[in-house]
Amino acid sequence: MTVRVRLAPSPTGKLHIGTARTAVFNWLFSRHQKGKFLLRIEDTDKDRSKPEFTQNILDGLSWLGLDWDDEPVIQSERVEEHRLAISQLLDRGLAYRCYVSEQELDVMREAQKASGLPPRYDNRHRSLTNEQEEIYQAEGREAVIRFRIEDETTITWTDMVRGPMQWRGADLGGDMVIARRASASSIGDPLYNLVVVVDDAAMAITHVIRGEDHIANTAKQLLLYQALELSSPTFAHTPLILNPEGRKLSKRDGVTSISDFQAMGYTSEALANYMTLLGWSVPEGMDEQFTLLEAAQCFSFDRVNKAGAKFDWDKLNWLNAQLLHGWPSLKLLEALEPRWQREGWVAKDRLWANDLAILLGPSLTLLEDGVNQARPFFEEPALEDDALNQLEQDGARPALQALLCSLELNAWDGVDVELAQTLLKEASASADVKKGILMKSLRAALLGRLQGPDLITTWGLLARLGDDRKRLRRCL
Ligand code: GLU
């Protein structure tokens, strides 16, 4: 049997971290099993589905390196298949039209609540006579189509993550709505649980791997597989991603879409690595830093945890920093350049830009840090308070003045380490200040702040622009 799995995102928003993590597990399993990873765009909610979200989802998956097989299936194009399945259920008496109005449902739920019962549909239109149906139709009521769920049924399956599972029909909320906006002669709009079953069967999906929030749907879907005489796939329900407080990660937690992580400067490799660790424990002896391909080689559901996975920013940041620090300078430059261009910055030349990337690389956690830290190399920085205080230190200005004099007397093209050391020594001697004070003051003058990357290299880069002198002059 060839393993066939799918990701079935709804294009009602940008690619969410939860969906992306589900995609990672689907991808890892399919690649480990040498099977197929398919996509299905679940765009049946016409009001909320948008083509730009579909594009965002596809772009996000590609960026993460989660390549899929075949063309994505577009669910809305399959509506006639869905309706056909519903008419089979209607013909066989397994589904029926229900005319209960929203208000009647509300009254029903209130009464249940008042008697301390969980809300459910009480199956009251299960056995309407033709005459009753006609009366409701004549009243102009819209129908839904409901699938019969017997309270006495027990649904069982073995979940690849959670082991043996059991649900009672009575806990599924009564007969399930499988289509809305139906009429006496039409089926209307088929709904999620029905269409997912019809589509997964049509795509010959062998394993459905999705978030734990779908468990109750699985019980309902298994009943539909049975009723439609389709063979059901194996299920794996992966743990939810929780925020650091232990609640389900939601929009309120800030960044949750993959394109936002991308914009902040997370690398696709670190994010894919981290998402794999959200719920999967590495086998003994395996490093926690790995590529998707390495994880695919040993991926199995035995090592997927049942408990929710807490999102740990520190760990993700650490993984990202490790990755960035290992990048060759050209790769780093290529990642930083579009961000610099976005700011309207033009580098002196490529060699200079490459040297800047080499200078900043070791201190980056996010690629976006490479914008903040590069700013004083492209724009003259304002002097921060502590930089101003530093320049007030005894001897600071005379030493900088001495330094500037040597620079102006000798029109050097640049400042290399050796020359820099000599100049610093001479200037501190002539102004009679400690070299440490001079260096601190030089940093304050060049960068406008007291922290930053290696001073001599910083000076060298600014000297190549002639900006070292300008910045010294304005401080004197
Ligand atoms: N469209 C559903 C979702 O995004 C798919 C769930 C499933 O995998 O069946 O939650």
Residues 358-408: tens digit of each pLDDT? 999 999 999 999 999 999 999 999 999 999 999 999 999 999 999 999 998
pLDDT, position 244: 86
User: What's the CA gap between 77 and 202, in Å, rounded?
Assistant: 13
Backbone Cα Rg of the chain: 32
Query: What percent of the chain has a predicted confidence (pLDDT) above 90?
Result: 94
Residue-wise pLDDT tens digits, 299-339:
999 999 999 999 999 999 999 999 999 999 999 999 999 99
- 436: three-class secondary structure by DSSP: helix
pLDDT, position 251: 75
Is 385-473 assigned to CATH 1.10.10.350? yes
Residues 355, 461: contact at Cβ < 8 Å? yes
49 in contact with ligand 1, CB cutoff 6 A = no
pLDDT, position 416: 87
Q: Which one of 7, 15, 199, 214 would you pick to mutate in the ligand 1 pocket, going by the greatest count of ligand atoms within 8 A of its CB? A: 214
CA of 81 to the centre of ligand 1 (A): 19
Residues 158, 207: contact at Cβ < 8 Å? no
Task: Give the other-Cβ count within 10 Å of 361's Cβ.
Answer: 20
8 in contact with ligand 1, CB cutoff 6 A = yes
* Beta pairing partners, 7: 39
Where are the CATH 1.10.10.350 domain residues in the chain?
A: 385-473
Q: Assign residue 65 a region: left if phi > 0, alpha if psi is -120 to 50, beta otherwise?
A: left
pLDDT, position 253: 81
DSSP 406-469: HHHHS--S---HHHHHHHHHHHHHHHT--HHHHHHHHHHHHHSSS--S-HHHHHHHHHTTTHHH
Nearest Cα residue to atom 6 of ligand 1: 8
Nearest Cα residue to atom 10 of ligand 1: 9
User: What's the CA gap between 238 and 220, in Å, rounded?
Assistant: 18
User: What's the CA gap between 88 and 147, in Å, rounded?
Assistant: 11
Nearest to 157 by CA among 234, 73, 258: 234
pLDDT, position 254: 80
Locate the ligand 1 atom nearest the alpha carbon of residue 196 and give its number. Answer: 9
Please, what is the average pLDDT of the chain? 96
Residues 16, 278: contact at Cβ < 8 Å? no
pLDDT tier at 285 (50, 70, 90 boundaries)? very high
207 in contact with ligand 1, CB cutoff 6 A = no
* Residues making up the chain, counted from first to last: 476
pLDDT, position 376: 96
199 in contact with ligand 1, CB cutoff 6 A = no
Query: What percent of the chain has a predicted confidence (pLDDT) above 70?
Result: 100
Task: Give the other-Cβ count within 10 Å of 392's Cβ.
Answer: 9
Where are the CATH 3.40.50.620 domain residues in the chain?
A: 1-67+239-326
196 in contact with ligand 1, CB cutoff 6 A = yes
CA of 13 to the centre of ligand 1 (A): 13
82 in contact with ligand 1, CB cutoff 6 A = no
User: What's the CA gap between 459 and 450, in Å, rounded?
Assistant: 14
Q: Which one of 29, 37, 192 would you pick to mutate in the ligand 1 pocket, going by the greatest count of ligand atoms within 8 A of its CB? A: 192
- DSSP letter at 383 equals P
- One-letter amino acid of 36: K
Locate the ligand 1 atom nearest the alpha carbon of residue 7 and give its number. Answer: 8
pLDDT tier at 218 (50, 70, 90 boundaries)? very high
9 in contact with ligand 1, CB cutoff 6 A = yes
CA of 193 to the centre of ligand 1 (A): 9
42 in contact with ligand 1, CB cutoff 6 A = yes
- DSSP letter at 130 equals H
Q: Which one of 4, 5, 7, 10 would you pick to mutate in the ligand 1 pocket, going by the greatest count of ligand atoms within 8 A of its CB? A: 10
194 in contact with ligand 1, CB cutoff 6 A = no
pLDDT, position 345: 98
Dihedral angle computed from the Cα positions of residues 302, 304, 307 and 313, in that order, rounded to the nearest 10 degrees: 160
Nearest Cα residue to atom 5 of ligand 1: 8
Q: Which residue has the higher pLDDT, 187 or 408?
A: 187
214 in contact with ligand 1, CB cutoff 6 A = yes
pLDDT tier at 80 (50, 70, 90 boundaries)? very high
Is 1-67+239-326 assigned to CATH 3.40.50.620? yes
**Catalytic residue ranges:** 251
Res 415 pLDDT > 90 = no
Where are the CATH 3.90.800.10 domain residues in the chain?
A: 79-192
pLDDT, position 414: 79
Residue-wise pLDDT tens digits, 244-272:
888 888 877 888 899 999 999 999 999 99
- Specify the CATH class of 329-378 in words: mainly alpha
CA of 123 to the centre of ligand 1 (A): 27
pLDDT, position 257: 95
User: What would the two tokens of residue 462 be?
Assistant: 């600014």
User: What's the CA gap between 384 and 449, in Å, rounded?
Assistant: 6
Rounded mean pLDDT, 327-352 = 97
Locate the ligand 1 atom nearest the alpha carbon of residue 8 and give its number. Answer: 5
Q: CATH number for the 79-192 domain, one of 3.40.50.300, 3.40.50.10810, 3.90.800.10, 3.30.70.260?
A: 3.90.800.10
210 in contact with ligand 1, CB cutoff 6 A = yes
- 476: three-class secondary structure by DSSP: coil
Nearest Cα residue to atom 7 of ligand 1: 8
Nearest Cα residue to atom 4 of ligand 1: 9
pLDDT tier at 223 (50, 70, 90 boundaries)? very high
22 in contact with ligand 1, CB cutoff 6 A = no
Q: Which one of 210, 220, 232 would you pick to mutate in the ligand 1 pocket, going by the greatest count of ligand atoms within 8 A of its CB? A: 210
pLDDT, position 252: 79
Where are the CATH 1.10.8 domain residues in the chain?
A: 329-378
- DSSP letter at 170 equals G
Locate the ligand 1 atom nearest the alpha carbon of residue 6 and give its number. Answer: 8
Locate the ligand 1 atom nearest the alpha carbon of residue 9 and give its number. Answer: 4
CA of 82 to the centre of ligand 1 (A): 16
User: Interior CA angle at 425 toward 421 and 428, to 5°?
Assistant: 135
pLDDT, position 117: 94
DSSP 270-310: HHHHHHHHTTBPPPTT--S---HHHHHHH--GGGB-SS-EE
